[in-house]
Amino acid sequence: MRGDVRSFRVALVADASLAALLPALEASGWGVIQLPPADVGAMTARLWLEQVAEQVAELRRNGYATILVGDGVWEGELEAALGALGGELPARVEPTAVALEAAAVAAGRMHRTAQRPA
């Protein structure tokens, strides 16, 4: 393998939408972090989302774009976990192939701009 094939963009995706969205996410070059299922216990969800928040914070520190393709389930808890680390929710993107591609294009422009030497 030559070069760095990472897209520098990761989508936080609602569990209920993940299977249906994987082809569009892959086609648009998005990495994925799965959010907890709606029926998981509150303690499990809290611990899961704390880990997601830590991953998002690290990704952002390393120049990755992040988006939220959620269904509203656990969104408040995710916002709290991110807030505890000084972060905020990623931009929300509609769960459609067109919206994911548009977000990928915008994220690619932002990443290239951030990587330009001064």
For 39, the token pair is 């029926």
Residue 104 pLDDT: 84
For 53, the token pair is 């928040």
Residue 110 pLDDT: 57
Q: What class has domain 9-115? A: alpha beta
Residue 1 pLDDT: 42
pTM for this prediction: 0.84
Give the three-class secondary structure for 63: coil
Residue 117 pLDDT: 42
Q: In this predicted model, which residue has the larger pLDDT, 86 or 1?
A: 86
Neighbour-count burial for 9-23, b at 16+ CB within 10 Å, e otherwise: bbbbbbbbbbeebee
